[in-house]
Amino acid sequence: MPRITHPSDVQTVLTTFETSPGTCQDLLDALQEAYDGFISRQPGFVAAGLHVNDAQTRIANYSQWRRREDFLAMLRSDEMRAHNRRFAALCRGFEPVMYDVAAVFGVPD
């Protein structure tokens, strides 16, 4: 499961997808299929989560990787390029962006 800490020893990637209520579930299914069958099995993968807004017009993806290079290698693979073409056909646009954790807040366990 994703765990957010500061300082963090993982690379964080946030990807937002602009979709529509008519294609949201199809895109979500395609993302889940990509994670189940390919992404989660790649070297350096740690965890991920998919989030859908109430209007079903946006999907946010949070993923964690051991190293920046692990994420980039997965992204450049032929299989991921094929998945990205499918995602692009199901939404108006998407953009993965790498982030560093700057701070975390929460109630102690």
Question: Please, what CATH class does the domain formed by 11-99 belong to?
Answer: alpha beta
pLDDT tens sequence for the chain (109 residues): 888 899 999 999 999 999 999 999 999 999 999 999 999 999 999 999 999 999 999 999 999 999 999 999 999 999 999 999 999 999 999 999 999 999 999 887 7
- And the tokens for 73? 């290698």
H or E element, residue 94:
strand 93-99
pTM of the complete model: 0.93
- And the tokens for 95? 């953009």
* Coil/strand/helix, residue 7: coil
